[in-house]
A = this chain, B = another copy of it.
Amino acid sequence: MKLATLKNGRPDGQLVVVSSDRLRTVSASRIAPTLQAALDDWAEVSPALSALYDQLNAGEIAGQMFDSALCLAPLPRAFQWIDGAGYLSHLERVRSLKGSKDAELQSARPLMYQGGSDSLSAPMAPITVTDETLAIDFEAEVAAILGPVPMGADHATATAAIRLLTVCNDVSLRRLVVDDLQNGFGFFHAKPSTAFAPLVVTLDEFGNAWRDNRLHLRVQTLINDAVFGQPNAGVDMHFDFADLIVEAARTRDLGAGTIIGSGTVSNRHDEGLPTKKGGIGFACIAEARTVEKLKYGRARTPFLKSGDRIRIAAIDSDGSPVFGQIDQIVTIRGDASA
């Protein structure tokens, strides 16, 4: 089934079920008021949500038109957002950037960081930054939303805890990455609010595209109407979602509603072909710049600037955006501290 969270003037919004064709929606508030409430009692709540989804799909309920502009992030605030690093080629490319840590990659265990989760951005919320010169970048990722995971969980337990999938934009301020990492306390200022697609979707909807704990779909990013990248999230994901969850739960329990990111989707391709001719491109600007530096001696692709539009969607075999679309405009809040 497909779920979303609509704006209702409250911080956690209102849970709705969305039809399989993403055209209609119906309130789920008689079953669970919010997505977090549904995840807290998933075993009891999900059959009722699923029945409502079936009724909506069968036309037994008319519902209302679904509009992404009315959506908050599926979890507008979450109790945990962990971003993993499943794709090693992303790390390799980004870490070779000037100023970044060039420590040897750990391929035995995935890296991950604790992200801020108190205000996750709606799919059509602006990317608000105080300063255009901070090297504003996007990172297109797949994200899994989890049920509770006990400390020390094994791979099978981790696999069973995956409830829902979506895509997200882990907005990054590259100029602050170096400071954050050199401070030694990890990402903080470099990672403002992460944005999420409007829809979260249960695993049964993906058929064979969900296998081996990986989502085998292209994650397409457009910058100002041009395709910037379309790597396949199922390809070159060295650590699958269960690997990431096992690592996250090494020393602690993970609460219901924990969101875990795949890391920036990244394929190990040779970068010859432009995306308009079917080339793969990149799911963040930093990777493109690294490859350009190696190839041309200097980075050509600029970071995002005020007014730039960025759209991210996972595309299924029909060409449809299975989670709907992230659609953000970069906005500079010039005098925030004035």
**Residue of B whose beta carbon sits closest to that of A258:** B118
- Copies of the protein in its oligomer: 2
Q: Which residues of B contact A269 (CB under 8 A)?
A: none
Say whether A11 faces chain B, with CB atoms less than 8 Å apart. Answer: yes
Structural contact, A333 and B152, CB atoms closer than 8 A = yes
Say whether A126 faces chain B, with CB atoms less than 8 Å apart. Answer: no
Structural contact, A187 and B114, CB atoms closer than 8 A = yes
Q: Identify which of residues 309-338 in chain A touch chain B, using a CB-to-CB cut-off of 8 Å.
A: 333, 336-337
Say whether A273 faces chain B, with CB atoms less than 8 Å apart. Answer: no
Structural contact, A189 and B333, CB atoms closer than 8 A = no
Q: Which residues of B contact A186 (CB under 8 A)?
A: 113-114, 180, 184-188
Given contacts A185-B187, A251-B192, contact A152 B337 (CB under 8 A): yes
Say whether A119 faces chain B, with CB atoms less than 8 Å apart. Answer: yes
A186 to B116 alpha-carbon distance, docked (Å): 13
Per-residue CB proximity of A251-264 to B under 8 Å, as 1/0? 11111111000000
The interface centre, meaning the residue of A79, A114, A119, A183 with most chain B CB atoms within 10 A of its CB, is: A79
A228 to B174 alpha-carbon distance, docked (Å): 43
Interface positions of A (Cβ within 8 A of B) = 10-11, 40, 77-80, 85, 101, 103, 106, 111-119, 128-130, 134, 150-154, 173, 176, 180-190, 192-193, 248, 250-258, 333, 336-337
Give 13 CB contacts A-B under 8 Å: A11-B40, A77-B255, A79-B117, A80-B118, A103-B183, A112-B188, A113-B185, A113-B188, A114-B115, A118-B254, A130-B251, A152-B333, A192-B251
Given contacts A106-B183, A114-B116, 20 further A-B contacts (CB under 8 A): A77-B255, A79-B118, A79-B119, A103-B183, A113-B185, A113-B186, A114-B115, A114-B187, A116-B252, A119-B252, A119-B254, A130-B151, A130-B152, A153-B337, A176-B251, A180-B186, A186-B188, A188-B248, A189-B251, A192-B252
